[in-house]
Structure 1
């Protein structure tokens, strides 16, 4: 009897370890998204939303998308790159203004945006027919005026100007909370995150089941159950996190998280921030702001994960299936697991970078799902 009880306890512990691994991977991807999407609150937030939404749409439809390309703020650099083509996104309500913004001297000079081959970048405008048609007509005028170097045929305007995957209104909606376009965008991101969490937890659960002597059939069943549970949790957390961010929750935490970053100090913040950067290192105030943004996302995601994971336990106590003592114990385990997972992927990468520069980036690479943006690119 003792052996059976010990075996049951061990199985619960290993299952929880598998769940924690998947939840950590899901949280990592969701915090990535929240970091990038804080830009949605800017004056031109719908433009950033359009870039993210178009990237996501192209990725889901099998195109090769280079994520986070516009985050380096390079002068006259591309906002997106799809299948090797550089794209400058101009989500204006007026097609004429969108094209004028692509030329120097307030629209009177030459085209600002050229690709690695010194050819015109693709200019992406909203998919509204009226906006697109005006944009093409304006580009034709620019070509005839000799403002597009290397291009003299006005018919080329329709090749340079391309429709985005979303209308101007949809882009504005995506940057806000509580509408269908916004929910669809967050749900698509959530599905990608859920797939990542499912994979991580299922692999861990399958391996531990085999090591404990279960048959492959039983191990596969355990892996599927664990993966579905964690994937579902990650999906809900990702969608709720996206909606709360757009509703302004992250903005409400700016002062508190910047105060925490100030307590950590610029050196510690630089270690944390640069652990997740693939570009040039940042220091001082920039590193502190980046760390504060990371903290905001981490707090929201960790809190929501605890709430979602505890929902079933709350339902069980209402139905009389578990005692208040068991509920408290389960909640304690969930809190410890979520806190440990959150601290693990942040602290692990930061410590790796501190001990040996480059190791933190390797941890980041191992945790990242293919196609997902890096937190601080």
Structure 2
């Protein structure tokens, strides 16, 4: 038992370290091949988020007798999706006698499904009928059309016979023909025993189910990773072939990582390893309060929770199991450091002092010079401006330091904020910063100083610099599926068939 606990703890810690390392590596700015790219980062973070949601949903698998019903919903829904149907779980709204699943078939027909998974066909079918009136409970629409009843694989024949008797006795509203029983009964993809196994840790059925889910999540992350990295490579000036190759490799790395994290997270959650985080999650949930907790719970697809703080605590436990802190990253590596390296607080201070000091000196000089006529006014203005600028350089630390520091902080924060919304290369970032530096050496700085809303002024100025840079780009077209397939088929020397 001690060995088993040790193994579980090791796997759990390995997974957390993996997630943490992806976030830490996201801040690296070296030029080696080991650098985590933007696409990979987004792939990992998206995959972890989807893993959190899916693992949280699967906590219901261990809810006593009802757990197998939840397994049936999820597992059969997954099977329908893998077979090209648009299948959605809709039972989370907890509507009385509402459907568990909605499925749109390839021919466009839509069906509502209620899952009942019991050890015998008799129990599975009877669970769908009201214990007092004996009537079939699961209907929809104005005409009370009956929903499809999905039961464990292997119970179909017996279940149809039972449903035929129910119809004969008038217990299915709107259905009089017993032959319709075969249209109301649907065998699930999994047996009752398989449903039990899926809910448990460390068996073949459970691992196969998690692997399928992990593949779906991984593919979604790979698509995002590929698109972002391909665009990044093209923006950086690389050719189409190289961009396609690098983006594909990065997407594959992201997909493998996300898929592995999902399987490990799901398996460990089934082993209830997440409960080790209970003390921490409860404290955090209590700090959040009911209002924020309710928003988080709703975001994760839960409805009708009577104790939202407890619900959030459970969500946090699953998040702690699959990920650590997601660091805020810029689209440009170390963009704030780049800004600080090009535009210093000291230089901004000098520029501001010269502008404001020069302006003030010029005004005073012109007033004084006007007493001796127009020529004196002009001369006084020029002389006052020169003296004012000279004086401001020597007195800037005492006169303008607070204003300059405040403006520098505003500009730096807005630069950081705007940079997060744009995907720019290192070269583009250099050009943006150089252009902005020149802007801040002109009367623009004075206008900002005199502005009623300096933050808004800085944001508009910086956003304009980014937009100007973006407008210089050539249009990028993401490769088609056929182009990607052809590229990798050729690279692999037809050794592997990609379909």
SS at match of 1:65: strand
| Matches of 2:92 and 2:279, distance apart in 1 | 24
> What are the residue-to-residue correspondences of 1:1-377 with 2, within 5 Å?
9=30, 15-43=36-64, 44-66=66-88, 68-83=89-104, 84-106=110-132, 108-116=133-141, 117-128=143-154, 131-276=155-300, 286-302=307-323, 338-340=326-328
| Matches of 2:328 and 2:121, distance apart in 1 | 50
Question: C-alpha displacement at 1:124, in angstroms?
Answer: 0.7
Q: CA RMSD in A?
A: 2.3
Question: C-alpha displacement at 1:141, in angstroms?
Answer: 1.3
Contact 1:266 1:287 (8 Å CA) reproduced: yes
- Pick closer, same or farther for the CA change 1:205–1:113 going to 2, 3 Å: same
CA-to-aligned-CA distance 1:272-330 (integer Å, 9 cap, x gap)? 334555x87x78x5332332232122111116xxxxxxxxxxxxxxxxxxxxxxxxxxx
Question: C-alpha displacement at 1:209, in angstroms?
Answer: 1.1
Question: C-alpha displacement at 1:32, in angstroms?
Answer: 1.3
| Matches of 1:273 and 1:248, distance apart in 2 | 20
| Matches of 2:39 and 2:164, distance apart in 1 | 58
TM-score (norm 2): 0.56
CA-to-aligned-CA distance 1:217-257 (integer Å, 9 cap, x gap)? 11111101110111100010011111111111124434431
CA-to-aligned-CA distance 1:314-350 (integer Å, 9 cap, x gap)? xxxxxxxxxxxxxxxxxxxxxx7x4548xxxxxxxxx
- Pick closer, same or farther for the CA change 1:340–1:39 going to 2, 3 Å: farther
Contact 1:194 1:234 (8 Å CA) reproduced: yes
| 1:368 match | none
The unaligned stretches of length 5 or more in structure 1 are 1-7, 304-335, 342-377
| Matches of 2:250 and 2:87, distance apart in 1 | 31
Contact 2:199 2:206 (8 Å CA) reproduced: yes
| Matches of 1:340 and 1:126, distance apart in 2 | 46
The structure with the larger Rg is: 2
TM-score (norm 1): 0.73
Larger RCO of the pair (alpha carbons < 8 Å, separation 6+): 1
| Matches of 1:40 and 1:78, distance apart in 2 | 18
The unaligned stretches of length 5 or more in structure 2 are 1-28, 105-109, 330-499
